[in-house]
A and B are shown apart, each in its own frame.
Chain A
Amino acid sequence: ETGVTQSPTHLIKTRGQQVTLRCSSQSGHNTVSWYQQALGQGPQFIFQYYREEENGRGNFPPRFSGLQFPNYSSELNVNALELDDSALYLCASWGTGENTEAFFGQGTRLTVV
Protein backbone atom coordinates (compact mmCIF):
# COMPACT_ATOMS: atom_id res chain seq x y z
CA GLU A 1 0.00 0.00 0.00
CA THR A 2 1.44 3.34 -1.11
CA GLY A 3 -0.48 5.75 1.10
CA VAL A 4 -1.77 7.58 -1.96
CA THR A 5 -5.56 7.46 -2.05
CA GLN A 6 -7.88 8.56 -4.82
CA SER A 7 -11.62 9.13 -4.87
CA PRO A 8 -13.96 8.12 -6.26
CA THR A 9 -12.79 4.76 -7.61
CA HIS A 10 -15.32 4.71 -10.43
CA LEU A 11 -17.75 7.19 -11.93
CA ILE A 12 -19.87 7.65 -15.00
CA LYS A 13 -20.50 11.08 -16.52
CA THR A 14 -22.35 12.39 -19.52
CA ARG A 15 -20.61 14.17 -22.38
CA GLY A 16 -20.41 17.92 -21.71
CA GLN A 17 -20.49 17.56 -17.92
CA GLN A 18 -17.72 18.51 -15.51
CA VAL A 19 -15.90 16.18 -13.10
CA THR A 20 -13.61 16.57 -10.10
CA LEU A 21 -11.24 13.80 -9.02
CA ARG A 22 -9.41 13.86 -5.70
CA CYS A 23 -6.08 12.61 -4.44
CA SER A 24 -4.50 12.46 -1.00
CA SER A 25 -0.75 12.19 -1.29
CA GLN A 26 1.58 10.10 0.82
CA SER A 27 2.59 11.71 4.09
CA GLY A 28 5.60 13.99 3.65
CA HIS A 29 5.25 14.21 -0.13
CA ASN A 30 4.83 17.75 -1.46
CA THR A 31 4.68 17.02 -5.20
CA VAL A 32 1.68 15.53 -6.96
CA SER A 33 1.39 14.47 -10.60
CA TRP A 34 -1.70 13.43 -12.55
CA TYR A 35 -1.73 10.95 -15.42
CA GLN A 36 -4.35 9.68 -17.85
CA GLN A 37 -4.20 6.05 -18.90
CA ALA A 38 -6.32 4.87 -21.80
CA LEU A 39 -7.01 1.16 -22.16
CA GLY A 40 -3.93 -0.71 -23.38
CA GLN A 41 -1.69 2.36 -23.18
CA GLY A 42 0.90 3.66 -20.78
CA PRO A 43 0.03 6.59 -18.50
CA GLN A 44 0.23 10.05 -20.10
CA PHE A 45 1.36 13.04 -18.04
CA ILE A 46 -1.30 15.70 -17.49
CA PHE A 47 0.35 18.09 -15.02
CA GLN A 48 2.27 18.36 -11.77
CA TYR A 49 1.92 20.51 -8.67
CA TYR A 50 4.64 21.44 -6.21
CA ARG A 51 3.73 23.34 -3.06
CA GLU A 52 0.38 24.46 -4.53
CA GLU A 53 1.84 25.71 -7.84
CA GLU A 54 1.62 24.01 -11.21
CA ASN A 55 5.21 23.41 -12.35
CA GLY A 56 4.79 21.14 -15.34
CA ARG A 57 2.11 20.35 -17.89
CA GLY A 58 1.71 17.74 -20.61
CA ASN A 59 -0.10 18.00 -23.92
CA PHE A 60 -3.61 18.36 -22.52
CA PRO A 61 -6.10 21.17 -23.26
CA PRO A 62 -6.97 23.90 -20.71
CA ARG A 63 -10.23 22.18 -19.81
CA PHE A 64 -8.00 19.91 -17.71
CA SER A 65 -7.12 21.92 -14.62
CA GLY A 66 -6.01 21.21 -11.11
CA LEU A 67 -5.38 22.40 -7.60
CA GLN A 68 -3.07 21.46 -4.77
CA PHE A 69 -4.00 22.33 -1.20
CA PRO A 70 -1.79 23.29 1.78
CA ASN A 71 -1.93 19.70 3.04
CA TYR A 72 -0.61 18.64 -0.42
CA SER A 73 -3.81 16.85 -1.42
CA SER A 74 -4.89 17.60 -4.97
CA GLU A 75 -7.81 17.82 -7.36
CA LEU A 76 -8.10 17.23 -11.09
CA ASN A 77 -10.97 19.02 -12.79
CA VAL A 78 -12.14 18.26 -16.30
CA ASN A 79 -14.69 20.51 -17.99
CA ALA A 80 -16.83 19.83 -21.06
CA LEU A 81 -16.22 16.09 -20.92
CA GLU A 82 -15.69 14.26 -24.19
CA LEU A 83 -16.06 10.55 -24.92
CA ASP A 84 -12.28 10.28 -25.36
CA ASP A 85 -11.80 11.42 -21.76
CA SER A 86 -12.87 7.93 -20.67
CA ALA A 87 -9.78 6.50 -19.00
CA LEU A 88 -8.11 5.55 -15.73
CA TYR A 89 -6.88 8.72 -14.00
CA LEU A 90 -3.85 8.23 -11.81
CA CYS A 91 -2.39 10.43 -9.13
CA ALA A 92 1.23 10.05 -8.08
CA SER A 93 3.04 11.64 -5.19
CA TRP A 94 6.75 12.27 -4.98
CA GLY A 95 8.97 12.67 -1.99
CA THR A 96 11.58 15.38 -1.54
CA GLY A 97 15.22 15.05 -2.44
CA GLU A 98 17.07 14.35 -5.65
CA ASN A 99 16.46 10.62 -6.01
CA THR A 100 12.86 9.90 -5.26
CA GLU A 101 10.20 7.70 -6.76
CA ALA A 102 6.61 8.37 -7.77
CA PHE A 103 4.07 6.32 -5.84
CA PHE A 104 0.69 5.92 -7.49
CA GLY A 105 -2.80 5.67 -6.13
CA GLN A 106 -5.26 3.02 -7.25
CA GLY A 107 -6.77 5.32 -9.85
CA THR A 108 -10.21 6.63 -10.74
CA ARG A 109 -11.97 4.93 -13.65
CA LEU A 110 -13.94 7.61 -15.52
CA THR A 111 -16.48 6.59 -18.14
CA VAL A 112 -18.03 9.30 -20.32
CA VAL A 113 -21.23 8.32 -22.10
Chain B
Amino acid sequence: EDQVTQSPEALRLQEGESSSLNCSYTVSGLRGLFWYRQDPGKGPEFLFTLYSAGEEKEKERLKATLTKKESFLHITAPKPEDSATYLCAVGSSSEYALNFGKGTSLLVTP
Protein backbone atom coordinates (compact mmCIF):
# COMPACT_ATOMS: atom_id res chain seq x y z
CA GLU B 1 0.00 0.00 0.00
CA ASP B 2 1.29 3.44 -0.95
CA GLN B 3 2.24 5.63 2.01
CA VAL B 4 3.30 9.25 2.31
CA THR B 5 4.66 10.76 5.53
CA GLN B 6 5.54 14.41 5.87
CA SER B 7 7.70 15.97 8.54
CA PRO B 8 7.70 18.10 10.50
CA GLU B 9 3.95 18.60 10.99
CA ALA B 10 4.55 22.27 11.74
CA LEU B 11 7.51 24.56 11.26
CA ARG B 12 8.06 28.11 12.40
CA LEU B 13 10.85 30.11 10.77
CA GLN B 14 12.14 33.63 11.02
CA GLU B 15 12.16 35.55 7.78
CA GLY B 16 15.38 34.66 5.95
CA GLU B 17 15.94 31.43 7.92
CA SER B 18 16.30 28.63 5.35
CA SER B 19 15.03 25.12 6.05
CA SER B 20 13.77 21.90 4.45
CA LEU B 21 10.52 19.96 4.54
CA ASN B 22 10.62 16.18 4.20
CA CYS B 23 8.31 13.78 2.37
CA SER B 24 8.99 10.06 2.82
CA TYR B 25 7.11 7.69 0.57
CA THR B 26 6.58 4.08 -0.41
CA VAL B 27 4.93 3.38 -3.72
CA SER B 28 4.64 0.51 -6.16
CA GLY B 29 5.95 2.14 -9.32
CA LEU B 30 6.34 5.89 -9.03
CA ARG B 31 4.41 7.79 -11.66
CA GLY B 32 5.30 11.13 -10.10
CA LEU B 33 5.85 12.94 -6.81
CA PHE B 34 3.91 16.17 -6.51
CA TRP B 35 4.33 19.20 -4.26
CA TYR B 36 1.46 21.58 -3.62
CA ARG B 37 1.03 24.70 -1.54
CA GLN B 38 -2.30 25.21 0.21
CA ASP B 39 -3.53 28.41 1.86
CA PRO B 40 -6.26 28.14 4.53
CA GLY B 41 -9.66 27.32 3.05
CA LYS B 42 -8.30 27.21 -0.50
CA GLY B 43 -7.52 24.46 -2.97
CA PRO B 44 -3.95 23.16 -3.37
CA GLU B 45 -1.77 25.16 -5.73
CA PHE B 46 0.56 23.11 -7.92
CA LEU B 47 4.29 23.67 -7.35
CA PHE B 48 6.36 20.81 -8.79
CA THR B 49 6.28 17.30 -10.21
CA LEU B 50 9.35 15.06 -9.90
CA TYR B 51 9.49 11.84 -11.88
CA SER B 52 12.76 10.08 -11.11
CA ALA B 53 15.43 9.91 -8.42
CA GLY B 54 18.03 12.63 -8.76
CA GLU B 55 15.64 15.10 -10.34
CA GLU B 56 15.55 18.66 -8.99
CA LYS B 57 13.24 21.59 -9.76
CA GLU B 58 13.31 25.20 -8.62
CA LYS B 59 10.82 28.03 -8.43
CA GLU B 60 11.74 31.31 -6.78
CA ARG B 61 12.76 30.45 -3.19
CA LEU B 62 11.68 26.80 -3.46
CA LYS B 63 13.70 23.82 -4.62
CA ALA B 64 12.40 20.26 -4.70
CA THR B 65 14.60 17.18 -4.83
CA LEU B 66 13.84 13.47 -5.12
CA THR B 67 15.48 10.22 -4.05
CA LYS B 68 14.07 6.69 -4.23
CA LYS B 69 12.57 7.01 -0.75
CA GLU B 70 12.02 10.69 -0.05
CA SER B 71 11.67 14.17 -1.38
CA PHE B 72 12.77 17.45 0.14
CA LEU B 73 11.33 20.89 -0.35
CA HIS B 74 14.05 23.38 0.41
CA ILE B 75 13.01 26.93 1.24
CA THR B 76 15.75 29.52 0.90
CA ALA B 77 15.46 32.85 2.71
CA PRO B 78 11.69 32.52 3.25
CA LYS B 79 9.36 35.49 3.45
CA PRO B 80 6.11 35.79 5.44
CA GLU B 81 4.13 35.25 2.23
CA ASP B 82 5.59 31.72 2.06
CA SER B 83 3.48 30.82 5.09
CA ALA B 84 1.11 28.01 4.05
CA THR B 85 0.63 24.27 4.29
CA TYR B 86 2.84 22.32 1.91
CA LEU B 87 1.43 19.03 0.68
CA CYS B 88 3.32 16.15 -0.87
CA ALA B 89 1.55 13.49 -2.96
CA VAL B 90 2.62 10.42 -4.90
CA GLY B 91 1.02 8.93 -7.95
CA SER B 92 1.67 5.27 -8.70
CA SER B 93 1.67 3.52 -12.02
CA SER B 94 -0.98 1.06 -10.79
CA GLU B 95 -3.75 3.46 -9.82
CA TYR B 96 -5.16 6.84 -10.65
CA ALA B 97 -5.35 8.37 -7.20
CA LEU B 98 -2.86 10.80 -5.76
CA ASN B 99 -1.92 9.68 -2.27
CA PHE B 100 -1.33 12.74 -0.09
CA GLY B 101 0.57 13.25 3.12
CA LYS B 102 -0.97 15.32 5.92
CA GLY B 103 1.13 18.31 5.06
CA THR B 104 3.63 20.59 6.80
CA SER B 105 2.23 23.84 8.16
CA LEU B 106 4.85 26.54 7.66
CA LEU B 107 4.77 29.88 9.45
CA VAL B 108 7.34 32.53 8.54
CA THR B 109 7.51 35.45 10.93
CA PRO B 110 8.99 38.89 10.12
Chain B interface residue bracket vs A:
20 to 34
Please report the C-alpha to C-alpha distance between residue A63 and residue B2 in the assembled complex, in whole angstroms: 25
Assembled-state Cα–Cα distance A107/B103 (Å): 17
Q: Which among A45, A48, A56, A107 is the interface contact of B42 at CB below 8 angstroms?
A: A107
Q: How far is the CA of A66 from the CA of B77 in the complex (A)?
A: 44
Q: A2-B46, A42-B103 are in contact. Are A102 and B98 (CB under 8 A)?
A: yes
The answer to whether A56 touches B49 (Cβ under 8 A) is no
- Chain A interface secondary structure, helix, strand, loop or mixed? strand
Contact mask B18-44 → A, CB, 8 Å, 1/0?
A: 000000000000001010100001111
Q: Are A99 and B43 in contact (CB under 8 A)?
A: no
Binds A, one of B59-67, B68-76, B89-97: B89-97
Residue contact A104 to B97, C-beta cutoff 8 Å: no
Contact with B along A94-113 (1 / 0, CB 8 A): 00000101111111010000
Q: Are the C-beta atoms of B44 and A56 separated by less than 8 Å?
A: no
The distance in angstroms between the C-alpha atoms of A83 and B50, with both chains bound, is 37
> If the complex has contacts A41-B102, A42-B103, A58-B97, are A90 and B51 also in contact, measured as CB distance less than 8 A?
no
User: Number of A-B pairs whose CB atoms are under 8 Å?
Assistant: 63
The answer to whether A45 and B97 touch (CB under 8 A), given A40-B102, A99-B32, A99-B51, is: yes
- CB-based contact A101/B34 at 8 Å: yes
A: interface residue count bin: 20 to 34
Q: Does A68 belong to the interface (CB within 8 Å)?
A: no
A17 within 8 A of B: no
Partner among A41, A56, A101, A107 whose Cβ is within 8 Å of the Cβ of B97: A56
Residue contact A48 to B34, C-beta cutoff 8 Å: no
Which residues of A have CB within 8 Å of B89? Answer: 42-43
A-B contact list, 12 entries, CB within 8 Å: A2-B43, A2-B46, A33-B96, A33-B98, A42-B89, A48-B96, A90-B43, A102-B46, A104-B36, A104-B43, A104-B45, A104-B46
